[in-house]
Structures are given as C-alpha cells and as structure tokens.
Amino acid sequence: MTWITIDRSQNTPMIRQIYHQLRIKILSGEISAGYRLPSTRQLAEELGVSRNVVLEAYEQLLAEGFLEGRLGSGTFVAEGTYLKKIETNSFIAKNHQPKKNNNMIDFRSGIPALDLFPRRQWGNLAKRVSIETNHSLFGYDSPEGRIELRTVLAYYLLRTRGVECQPEQLIITTGATQALTLVAKLLLSQNETVIIEDPITHEIQTIFQSYGASLLPIQVDENGMDTSQIPQDIKPAFIFVTPSHQFPMGGTLPIQRRIQLIEYARKTDCYIVEDDYDSEFRYEGPPVSSLQGLDPNRTIYIGTFSKILSPALRLGYLILPPALIERGRSLKYFSDLHTPSLEQLTLALFIKEGFLEKHIFRMKKIYRKRRDFLKEQLYNEFGDTIKIHGDSTGLHFVTEFNEVHFSDHLLSKLHDCGVKVYPVELHTIQKYVYKNHIILGFGNLKEEQMKEGILKLKSCLF
Amino acid sequence: MTWITIDRSQNTPMIRQIYHQLRIKILSGEISAGYRLPSTRQLAEELGVSRNVVLEAYEQLLAEGFLEGRLGSGTFVAEGTYLKKIETNSFIAKNHQPKKNNNMIDFRSGIPALDLFPRRQWGNLAKRVSIETNHSLFGYDSPEGRIELRTVLAYYLLRTRGVECQPEQLIITTGATQALTLVAKLLLSQNETVIIEDPITHEIQTIFQSYGASLLPIQVDENGMDTSQIPQDIKPAFIFVTPSHQFPMGGTLPIQRRIQLIEYARKTDCYIVEDDYDSEFRYEGPPVSSLQGLDPNRTIYIGTFSKILSPALRLGYLILPPALIERGRSLKYFSDLHTPSLEQLTLALFIKEGFLEKHIFRMKKIYRKRRDFLKEQLYNEFGDTIKIHGDSTGLHFVTEFNEVHFSDHLLSKLHDCGVKVYPVELHTIQKYVYKNHIILGFGNLKEEQMKEGILKLKSCLF
C-alpha cells in the first residue's frame, strides 16, 4: 500500500500523519464504507514505522467513529463517514487597517501621547501582580470587577472629580464603549427617546440607535448643551451629556444648565448619562466637578482610562445609582463575565502608589504645550480667518474656518496632501451646521508634526 | 464670616476646601442668588490664608457659573444655582460574592488549577511586552485583535485541533462569553429557532434567548447530540454543539453525526456553532479534530483560554466563515472596540515561545491524575450504586447515582455539610431527566480535598 506517505522531515508526528491521511481518504470517499484496512502489523512494515505508531493512528480513528473493528476479522471503514466536498470560498476579508502612510500627519482626536505611556512602571506592576498575588486572582471573578480597583477608584473620583459613589456602585468595563452599550441595554427599549447633544461622537449615536433609541438632538453652544431647547412635553429614556468637555465642540456646561437638567430628569423621571472622557486635562483651573455629584440617584457616570493612560488597556467604568446596580452587573456578566483581572489589579496598584496622578500632572503640562503650539501655528498661518473653540480642556479643539466647506472631496484632497483632519459634520445629527469646522487632536503629535500638518493644510486649502 | 472653616490637617488643598464649602452653600440655597460675597482680600484675611488661595477658589466658581462678577461692585451668587436636595437612597446592593466558607469543598466545573498558573513566565512576558513593544501598541487597535496573536493561534489550532482558518477569520474576544454574544447578534433575530443540545450550559441558553432565540432542545446520549432526533421540516438560525466534549454530559460526537449535522446545515442553509472549551485535556489519545475543519464555510468555531490558562485573562476567540467576517468585526467594535492589546501580545509570545503547549502537556498529566483519583474515591465510597459519564476529556465528569434525587433541598443540605456539587438539572431544558446526576469538577481540587469532599457527600447522603 503506497497511498500513505510518511515525511520524516516534517514537524508533525508520524501518528498524526497517518491519521490525517486516512481521515481525508475516508471523508472524500476515496476509501469507502466497508473497506478493510491492512492490519497494523502489515501497514507498519510497509511504512517502515513501529507498529505502535499505526496502532495509535487506528485507535484515534476508531474513537472518532471513522473505523470499526470486527472481532477476528480486522478493521473496516464505518458507514456514514463520507462528506461531499464543497469548494471553499477563497475570499477573505482584508484587514481593516488601511495602508500606513508614514508621512501622513493625522490630527485624530482622543489619542494620548503613545510614546509617553509609563511603560516601565506599568510593566513592573504587571509582573508584580502576576507573580505575587494570591492564586485566587487567576479564577473567575465577579462581574463588577476587582474590589481593590473599585475602592481606590471611588476615592480618586471623589477627590478629583467630586463624584459621589461607593465602590459597590462601580462596574469596571472593557473600555467606555462597553459602558455605553451596558447603559443602552439598561435603559432602552424600542422607540424610546434619548435626548442628546448635537454634535456628539457618531459611534455613540450608532450604539444607542442599535438598541432602538430615537435620538432627539439638542444643539450645543460654547457652553455645551443648550438646555433651554429641551421640549417639556416628552418623556425620554435618558439624557446623554458630556458636561465637562462637550465632544467635539469643547464647551463646559455651567451650573445653571446642570441644575436645569437635573430638575428636568426629576420631573420626567428619567436618568442623566454623563460621559466624562478627558476632563482631567483641564488647562484653566482645577477640573470641573461632575454632574453626578449633584444628584447621584439620577446620574449614571461613565469614565475611561483611554485618554489618561492608554486606549489599548480597554479599561473604563460605569457608576450606577443603587436602583440599577443589580441589573447592571447581570448585563455585564452576560457580555463578557468580567473585565480581565490582572490588568484591573495592575491599574489599582498604579493608582494606589500615586503613579496615575503623577502621570496626569506630567501629561497635562505636555498637552498644554502642544495645544498652545498648535493654536499658535494656526493663528500664524490663518490669522483671523479662523476661530478656535473649546480649547480649555482635553486632547483636541475645534477650528472654524471662514468660508471653507470641508466636503468629502476636500477631505480626500487633504488626505492626498498628507494631512488628515476630521470634520465636525461626521458627528452631527442635524447636518450642514458645522460644515466649516474641523476637529484637531494634538495629544499624540509632536511640535514638528503639527507644524508640518498645518503647513500642508494651508498649502492644500489655498 | 465664620461659616467657612479651613482644616489644615486635611489632605485637601485649601483652595479646594473653600471652593467646596461655598459650592455646597450655594447649591443648598444657604446663600442664594444675588448674595454678595466678601472680597477676596477680606475673606483671605478672615481665614488666615493667602489672597491667591481665595482668588483661585472664586475663579473656579466663576468658571462653573456659580458666581458672577459685576464690574466695580464685587462678586455675586448667580441665578439658577439652587438645587433642591433629595434624600439619597442609602441602599447599596451587596457584593455578589458569597461569604467564603474556607472548609467548603467546591466541585465547580471548568476551573483550572489556579495555583499552577505559570505566573513567572506570564509576568516576565507581560513586562517585556509593556517595556519593549513599539509604542503604537498603546493606541487604539483593530476590532479583530492583534495580528501577532491571530497568526500564532491559527497555526496552533490547525496543528492541534485540525481547525482550518486564516488569521483574517479570527476575532479575539473578551472571553468565550463575548464570542457567544457576538454569535447571537450575528445570527439571531426575533423568534428564530436554535437547535441546541439538552442539557447545555444554562448561561448559553440565557444568552441566546435574550437575543430572541427559541430553543429547540435535542437530547444527548453518551455520544453527544442525538442527531437522528433533529426535525427535518424546520429552518433554524443555527445549530449549537459542543462536539469535542459535550457540556455537561461529556460525550464526543462521532464522525457520522458530524457529517449528518453538516449535511443538515447545507440542506437548510444554516450555520453550525461549535463551542470547544476544554478538549485539549483529552486523556485517551490525541485531541479529537474539530467539526469546523470538515466545512469551514458552515461552521463558526468558539475557543477559549479560560481552561487551558486562566479565566481571569478573559481571552477567547471566534472563527468566522468569510461571509460573516465583516459584520462580526463591526459587532465586536461596537461591543468594546477591541480586547485589551497588552494581554493579547503577552499570549502571542506565550504561544510562540512554546510555553502554552508545555503548560498543557504538564497540566494534562496533573488533571488525569486528579480525575483518576476522584473516580477511585467515588467507586470506593459508592461502589456500583453510581455510574460515571464523560470522563475521557476535560476538567469535570458526570456521576449518576441510583435513586438519589438532587433536589434543591438536598443540595442545600450538602452545602451545609460543607460540600458543593452541581446538578445536571441546572443545565437541562427538558426537566426531570437527569435528577440523579451531578457534575463534579476536579481541575482546581487537590487529592485531599476531593477525598474529604466525597466523604462529606457520602455522610450527608446516607
């Protein structure tokens, strides 16, 4: 029998080679039901391998049902082992990652300075967690996340953001996106209304809509959501706001509007969802207090470590009013059981040992410098034909150009010039209000890159 | 003015103390709109602090809208800054974690030996990843996960499980639970039928039902799903199977039934979802090949590192037929953008450097010994009044007792005796078929614990 070949140069063990070739021949019908295989002794001799090798291959095929042994009469191919081959579709989706143009200056917002991630501190703590922690760490955990992290986080948030919460109200999430998804699952059913700022991150619109929300956009101005425009005669599922730093327009919601929102939520018995994504980087004065602290029973607070540390960690959190905790934990459980434990514990140590606040302090100075530099470049090149909005906080601001329409055509022309900017229109619900506005992120750009980017922008615009 | 007090022993900066007290007084209406604050100079003098301290506190309150300055006439409390206080609900949900009874012997299934996690290797690799990788690692990544991990994983799965896939077909998920959720989102709409083994993990039933599935249970026997019972006149959304190691009954689906499933799926144009959660630990012969390899265009394959490494990592994966890749990635993106990158890269190195296969090899020997020991204890104590099912693979088996009904009452009595066992009935769709069957997990129990547990079980049963 020469139809089985052994290739001794392969990594694959000989047992596996014999098993594999016989299996394919049976599935394809090349040897069919009722066919009697050579004895193990015979095949071993023909292939020049030990009899145990053939024996094990046969046993595996017997165990899987391909073969059956008939007492005293040998080993046969079993019934029902033929499978018609269907040509496999050779199309494979390409990776989404676009080809990198290394000369491209990308003003994408919300990216922290990736080269300044505290690698060594993080790496040392990660190692320490893996080696030193009690071994129960490596088992399943509870959906709300590690108590060590929730405890230091509750204290940190109270101190720095005026957030009023017990560790029990926190659910550690796999990034803020998951927190948004959990909120949608918690609060939405078909055709319910969500009152939302316009413009607002388009991914957030997509998430809420995918859970059945009908979005009621409220225009923003320099001070965030214009609460006077909220209609009084509806009952929304919730109000979604970014009060510390409106995305993308950058306003900070004044106390009067915050109070109006809370009174409205109390009247209509709905929740307020506060998304606080980068307000640690406030360049004028200390961070603004959270809206959550004004009424912890009405407000769901979402936070993230993507901007203050790294988006690659996928670490965010959700603070729930007591009435929502149990269902929130259950929804988290059925999403992914819990967020990875080792990383949670590494972060808990990182906060507890003071590294987080030192890192934020350091980065704030760097980001302020980058912001100032970018503003300077813009004013140098464009003078009073531009206006800058929302630059008091965070890793981006908005630039409004006189009489420039950032159409798809223009954006692709800019792309060809080697500069990528992001139109506010990408995030608007009501269109054509912001067609001359772009978002410029500066968190992950060095001065020379920003300078080059703005020069490219100018040369391509005019 | 004595209503503001400075506590110099506190950690809170004095600026924050003044800000905080004024804010509360304004919100509560204690000082109301139109009230004129003392000048910064005056208040500084009264409190015995520098004028800059008061100035900064006032500025923060001005920025947030609590105060307004009127030129030449001082600083006043602004309108609309009063918020009616609502008594906060002091109820906080308790942590789900039950009180630990340290003497409890818990036969929970699916827990690997937590004390044998390769801590040092993992910790060293985690540190290396954090310190040495290119800094782009710390940015946002693509939803399908790191190419490094998908590449080594595709090769590993081909070699060890006969899984046929390109790295492009893999989506790294935050554990297998997320993979199940993505499958439900991909394939289900309201009132569609899912053909499913009975019994089957109850969490899986809950997930599919929460996405609108109507479950059609098919009984399992010693060889997994009894495919002859599948009705021919329906069109299901998909068929869900655990062919390598049926959960919980432990059968391995023979090739004939696998081929029947694929032919059925081809005829009704539906998918097969293969959940392969612990088949690496096969104690007789090499691991059984995957069902996926028989028809990669019809089969969605779900795998996990929870049993072979640790559930705390929350690392699993989904292999999709080409037609489903794009939508699968998009659903993953809107769930949590992507799974944490540093852990993905640590795992990629762990596999690439051969640690994973060494770890599995080592653990298989340990688990086999634990399995044998537990069987021996059971036979010693219960003799032929028990029957053991599905012990060829994995971290658990099922024990059937003559004439013992594991009712809630009995289970709670056992609990009080200090032994926790899990009834198969917890996972059945059609009830009362398996009332004398329990699942015994042995992955995380030492011999002396198992011995004690079985003695407790016996003394409590009889």
- Average confidence (pLDDT) over A173-199: 96
The interface predicted TM-score (ipTM) is 0.91
Residue A307 is predicted with a pLDDT of 96
- Backbone φ, ψ for residue A336 (5° rounding): -155, 25
Q: Which residue of A has its CA nearest to B137?
A: A312
Q: Are residues A279 and A395 in the same domain?
A: no
Q: Do residues A365 and A296 share a domain?
A: no
- Assess whether A348 and A287 both reside in one domain: yes
Look at residue B100 and tell me if it is in a domain. Answer: no
pLDDT at A1: 45
pLDDT at B93: 47
Q: For residue A95, is it within any domain?
A: no
CA distance A313 to B339: 8
pLDDT computed for residue B90 by the predictor: 52
Q: Searching chain B, which residue's CA lies closest to the CA of residue A138?
A: B312
Say if the Cβ atoms of A111 and B140 lie within 8 Å. yes
Residues B405, B362 share a domain: yes
CA distance A373 to chain B (A): 23
Residue of B nearest to A310 (CA): B138
Q: Higher model confidence: residue A264 or residue A91?
A: A264
CATH number of residue A202's parent domain: 3.40.640.10
Q: Tell me the H-state helices in B133-200.
A: 147-161, 175-187
What is the domain extent for residue A155?
A: 117-355
The verdict on A329 and A373 lying in the same domain is no
Q: What is the CATH number for A56?
A: 1.10.10.10
* pLDDT of A82 higher than 80: yes
Q: Indicate the residue of A127, A144, A203 with minimum beta-carbon distance to B127.
A: A127
Q: Model confidence over A16-69: pLDDT tens digits?
A: 899 989 998 899 888 889 889 988 998 899 888 999 999 989 988 988 899 998
Examine the domain organization and report whether A338 and A362 are in the same domain.
Answer: no
User: Do both B190 and B241 map to the same domain?
Assistant: yes
Interchain contact A55–B (C-beta under 8 A): no
Using 50 as the pLDDT threshold, list the residues of chain B that sit under it.
Answer: 1, 93, 95-96
> pLDDT tens, B7-26?
888 878 888 899 989 998 89
Q: CA-to-CA distance for B211 and B186, rounded, in angstroms?
A: 10
Residue at a domain's end among A355, A377, A410 = A355
Q: Does A235 touch chain B (CB under 8 A)?
A: no
User: Between chains, do B168 and A123 touch, taking CB under 8 Å as contact?
Assistant: no
DSSP state of B188: -
Residue A86: per-residue pLDDT = 77
pLDDT of residue B1: 45
CA separation, residue B121 to residues A180, A231, B152, B350 (Å): 35, 59, 18, 8
Contacting A residues, span 141-180, partner chain B, CB-CB under 8 Å: 141-144, 147, 159, 162, 166, 168-169, 173-175, 177-178
Q: From CA B13, how far away is CA B24, in angstroms rounded?
A: 17
Q: Are B40 and B4 in contact (CB under 8 A)?
A: no
A89 within domain boundaries: no
Is residue B288 a part of any domain in this protein? yes
* Boundary residue ending a domain (A24, A59, A77): A77
A135: which chain B residues are within 8 Å (Cβ-Cβ)? 114-115, 117
Q: Is B192 in the same domain as B284?
A: yes
Domain total in chain B = 3
- Whole-angstrom Cα distance, residue A413 to residue A419? 9
Residues sharing a CB contact under 8 Å with residue B213, sequence separation 6 or more, in sequence order: B184, B188, B192, B193, B194, B237
Residue A90 lies in a domain: no
User: Which of A115-129, A221-235, B72-86, B330-344 is least confident?
Assistant: B72-86
Residue A2 lies in a domain: no
- From residue B437, alpha-carbon distances to A307, A440, B316, B389, B415 in Å are 51, 63, 29, 10, 17
Predicted local distance difference test score (pLDDT) of residue A164: 87
Angle of helix A447-461 relative to helix A408-417, nearest 10 degrees, comes to: 130
Q: Does A377 touch chain B (CB under 8 A)?
A: no
Residues A262 and A339 in one domain: yes
pLDDT in the model for residue B126: 98
Q: Which residue of B has its CA nearest to A62?
A: B254
Q: Is residue A85 part of a domain?
A: no
The answer on A413 and A391 residing in a single domain is: yes
Task: Give the C-alpha separation, A80 to B294, whole Å.
Answer: 14
Give Cα B94 to chain centroid, integer Å: 20
Q: What is the mean pLDDT of residues A281-298?
A: 88
Judgement on whether residues B314 and B410 belong to the same structural domain of the protein: no
Question: Looking at residue A90, what is its pLDDT?
Answer: 52
Select from A355, A386, A412 the last residue of a domain. A355
The CATH number of the domain where A400 resides is what?
Answer: 3.90.1150.10
Token duo for residue B150:
């998908």
* SS3 call for B341: helix
Q: What is the nearest CA distance from B1 to chain A, expressed in angstroms?
A: 25
At residue A284 the predicted structure's pLDDT band, cuts being 50, 70 and 90, is confident
Please give the pLDDT value at position A431.
Answer: 93
Residue B9 covered by a domain? no
Residues A366 and A346 reside in one and the same domain? no
**Contact between residue A443 and residue A386 where contact means Cβ atoms under 8 Å apart:** no
